[in-house]
Amino acid sequence: MNKKAMEEFQEWIKQNLNDPLAKTLLENSSLTKTQFETFLIDALSKHYHSAFSNSEIKTMLRLRGKVSRGAFNRTKAQAIKNIIKAIYTILLLGYVGIFDSSKLDPFIELSQKLDNYIKAIKKEENYEKYNWIVRILEEELREALNFNNRKRRAKQQLNIGNLKTVKETISSL
C-alpha cells in the first residue's frame, strides 16, 4: 500500500475536520466527528486512490489509527442512520406544513452562497480570502439559525397565549 497516498488522504481529512466552517456545521449536525470522518473515508477514499476501495485499507485511514472492520462499519452505519434520519425529519416537517419553502429560503440562499464562494476561492487558491469568507458565512449561518429560533419562540409564545384564551373561553361557558 502506498503510505504517501494514505498520509496525503489523512491530511485532506484533517483539513476538512479543522476547517472553521466545517467545524461549525459539524457541531450543529447530528453526526459525531468520528462518524463524519468515517463517512468521508467511506464515501470519498475510492475516488482519491483506487487501492482505498478495499475495506481493510479504509480502516487504516482513520486519523486515530487503524480500527477493526467491525468498528469502522458500526461507525459508518451510525453515520448513515443519522444522515437518513435528518433527511426524513426535513421531509416530515415539510409534509405536515411546518417546514414550508419560505422557512427554508435563508438556508437555501446560504447554501448557494457557500457553493459559489468556495468555487471562486478554489479557482483563485486564495486561502486568506477563504478564511475571511468562512467567517462571513459562519456569521450568516448563525444569523439564519437565530432568526428562525426567534421566529419559533415568538410563535410558541403566541400559541401559549392562544391556549390560555381557549382555556378562558371554555371555562366561561
Residue with cell 476501495: 53
Q: In residues, how long is the chain?
A: 173
C-alpha cell at position 40 = 468521508
Between 125 and 162, where is the model more confident?
Answer: 125
Q: Which of 5-9, 19-23, 64-68 has the lowest mean pLDDT?
A: 19-23
What is the pLDDT at residue 77? 95
Residue 51 has pLDDT above 80, yes or no: no
pLDDT band at 101 (very low <50, low <70, confident <90, very high): low
Spatial CB neighbours of 100, under 8 Å, sequence gap ≥ 6? 94
| Mean of pLDDT over the chain | 77
pLDDT band at 166 (very low <50, low <70, confident <90, very high): very low
Residue with cell 438556508: 107
Spatial CB neighbours of 121, under 8 Å, sequence gap ≥ 6? 127, 129, 130, 133
Spatial distance between the Cα atoms of 45 and 10, rounded to a whole number of angstroms:
10
Residue 112 has pLDDT above 80, yes or no: yes
pTM: 0.66
What is the pLDDT at residue 97? 80
Q: Domains of the chain: which residue ranges?
A: 1-98, 100-173
What is the pLDDT at residue 50? 75
pLDDT band at 33 (very low <50, low <70, confident <90, very high): very high
63 phi, psi to nearest 5 deg: -65, -30
What is the pLDDT at residue 153? 55
